[in-house]
Amino acid sequence: MEATTKIFLDENEIPRKWYNLQADLPTPLDPVLNPGTGKPIGPEDLAPIFPMELIKQEVSTERWIPIPDEVRDIYRLWRPTPLYRAVRLEKALKTPAKIYYKWEGVSPPGSHKPNTAVAQAYYNMKEGVERISTETGAGQWGSALAFGTCLFGLDCTVYMVKASYEQKPYRRILMETWGAEVFSSPTQRTNSGREILKKDPDTTGSLGIAISEAVEDAATHDNTKYALGSVLNHVMLHQTVVGLETKKQFEIAEDYPDVMFGCVGGGSNFSGACFPFVGDKLMGKKPELEVIACEPTACPTLTRGPYAYDFGDTAKLTPLLKMYTLGHDFVPAPIHAGGLRYHGDAPLLCKLVNENVMGAVAYNQNEVFEAALTFARTEGIIIAPETAHCVKATIDEALRCKKTREKKTIFFANSGHGHFDLAAYDAYLAGKLVDYAYPEEMIKKSLANLPKV
């Protein structure tokens, strides 16, 4: 009998609650600190930039958080998403392993990001917010928030990292089509942007810089709140809709992953797909499960950064988060996986890596694009450069299984399509992509400015 190539769920099987991994942590997360006092922050510190309901979710240790009906109703536009069995890739690799991927590229913005963008737009709308400011790296998050704010009648301002603004003009057009205003970051609109440009007029920008601008924008306008597309606990929470659907689909397949891969910039898609399974691991149901984060060598946060308190942005406007970091001053090379160019990672994810519940690997962009081409030429889907990192890891694992003859079940989080990344594919096909070596001196310089905690 031929293997099933895709597993669908019915609309009524969209999860009704998000899963909160904080409920099942053996020890609690390190507190978020006020950089001025060094003491844990309270809700009142976050109220100027986030709606109260999201602040409550950020600190909640309840295992299940109900998904509002209005959010589920919009989810129905594309959810549940399919779980694919990559049969053609398996055959091409001649591996005894089974390869599955959850395909989030079917959402209107083309990635996993609207799972939280829609939720964040909803909670802001309920609190009477008129406008949301945000940053975006590759443009996936900006596109998703523009989509979410459009559906709930909010204005949206996006600070897009300059490198991606120039590499991916169609992402900007997509955001503007949904009514957002988009600026190349750093800009002259904010104090933090002006300061960066004064020091380095030719900077390619970074997520840390764009976050500074978006946070400053929200903090200085009474009608505006800020939204973050990754890193924070409530974002990881909303993304678990992916992993919860995946668990149901694996039950239908009568299978369960032995190893799980996902690309990591801030950590939201990887965490959303894997946290429901990590919960099983923490509770002893699948202790041998391997969960591996995949990142670029040009921004090797989990594989090379120290586990320390740091600011989430360049201008030091955010509270201090305990995470793996390359330093808030670090500006990564302008690789095409713009969504992975962030100096830190989600505290929840970092805690699990630090405690060896999960692991991490890093890859150069040429080997990543080689994997993306193998996937496109077998499974037919052209994926985002970010996603290609975990496809590289998946192919490597499948080839290891070919050598060892292990019949492992491999899963990867296929977080979005690469239709707006064809210039990057063009550069790879023309042999023009550069592999950026680990910038040891740059990172040492940046780490010297870590806050003293």
pLDDT tens per residue, range 410-420:
999 999 999 99
Q: How many CB atoms lie within 10 A of CB 255?
A: 16
DSSP code of 357? S
Closest CA to 427 of 359, 356, 379, 372: 372
According to DSSP, the β-strands at 98-103 and 83-85 are antiparallel
Closest CA to 102 of 216, 213, 327, 253: 253
Angle made by CA atoms 23, 26, 31, in degrees to the nearest 5? 75
Q: Mind listing the domains of the chain with CATH numbers?
A: 6-13+69-110+233-447 (3.40.50.1100)
User: How would you write the pLDDT of the chain (453 residues) with one tens digit per residue?
Assistant: 467 789 999 999 999 999 999 999 999 999 999 999 999 999 999 999 999 999 999 999 999 999 999 999 999 999 999 999 999 999 999 999 999 999 999 999 999 999 999 999 999 999 999 999 999 988 899 999 999 999 999 999 999 999 889 988 999 999 999 999 999 999 999 999 999 999 999 999 988 899 999 999 999 999 999 999 999 999 999 999 999 999 999 999 999 999 999 999 999 999 999 999 999 999 999 999 999 999 999 999 999 999 999 998 888 888 999 999 999 988 877 777 667 878 899 999 999 999 999 999 999 999 999 999 999 999 999 999 999 999 999 999 999 999 999 999 999 999 999 999 999 999 999 999 999 877 788 888 889 999 988
Tokens 């391997």 appear where? Answer: 290
Angle made by CA atoms 186, 192, 195, in degrees to the nearest 5? 85
How far, in Å, are 181, 261, 331 from residue 415 at the CA level? 25, 11, 24
- Rounded distance, CA 312 to CA 324, Å? 11
How far from the centroid of its chain's Cα atoms is residue 362's Cα?
A: 16
How far from the centroid of its chain's Cα atoms is residue 350's Cα?
A: 13
- Rounded distance, CA 321 to CA 301, Å? 14
Q: Please give the pLDDT value at position 1.
A: 43
CB 119 within 8 A of CB 71: yes
Closest CA to 146 of 172, 185, 112, 184: 172
C-alpha dihedral sign at 197, 200, 201, 204 = negative
Residue type for position 277 = F
pLDDT tens per residue, range 305-342:
999 999 988 888 889 999 999 999 888 777 776 678 78
- Rounded distance, CA 74 to CA 89, Å? 33
